[in-house]
Each structure stands twice: as C-alpha cells, then as structure tokens.
Amino acid sequence: MTTNTVTIELPLTVYNKLQRLADQEQTQPIDILVRLVESIEPTSRDEQEQEDPVFELIGAYHSQQPLIDGIPVSEYPDLYLAAAAIGEQTVHHAFYSPH
C-alpha cells in the first residue's frame, strides 16, 4: 500500500478522545481515522455512477422524443412539458402555421 505523510492539527480535546479510543481498541489513532474515512466513501462504483433523475426529463440528456415543429427542447422546454401533460393529441404548438 502506498502511503503519504499528512500532518493534521486537532484541538487537544479531540486528539485526547481519539487517543483514548485508540488505546481502548489497542490500535493507533491513524487506524481509527482510516476506518472513519473508508466508512464514508461509497462502497461500490454503482453508487458513484448512479444517474441523476433529472436526466429522465424529456430532452435533458438524450431522448427519443421527436421535435415539435423542429423546435429543440432546450429552446422551449415548456412546449414539451405541455405536450407531455396533454398527451398524444399534441402535434403542433400555438405558433405553428402550415405553409
């Protein structure tokens, strides 16, 4: 295991608590600090790579949703939210004018 030397300044009361705990566990204070840090890290890559639920929104990341009147979702998101709320009957928006 590769290691680095780190100096940590702790209030004396905190250091004393850490040292007492280490004495009780018959270990070194650094072992307790390592255990603490390892306990707060994600335990698997799956937890680190969970997708943000915002990506499930239409057009927020990638969507198979067809464009309405050729307007990108990023330019008029309310149009797509309204279309989703109304359902399949929405094909064109209020500004649509057939040529």
State the DSSP code for 44: S
Q: Are residues 41 and 62 in the same domain?
A: no
The amino acid sitting at 9 is E
Asked if the model's pLDDT at residue 23 lies above 90, the reply is yes
Q: Residue 1's pLDDT is what? A: 72
Nearest CA among 7, 33, 6 for reference residue 22:
33
pLDDT-derived band at 85 (thresholds 50, 70, 90) equals confident
- Is residue 59 a part of any domain in this protein? yes
Query: 92 in a domain, yes or no?
Result: no
On whether residue 7 sits in a domain, the answer given is: no
Under the banding of pLDDT at 50, 70 and 90, the label for residue 22 is very high
Structural domains counted in the chain: 2
In a domain, 17, yes or no: yes
Place of tokens 């330019």: 75
My answer on whether 59 and 75 are in the same domain is yes
- Mean pLDDT across 8-18: 93
Global confidence as pTM: 0.41
Whether 21 has a pLDDT exceeding 60, the answer reads yes
Instruction: Give residue 20's domain range.
Output: 12-48
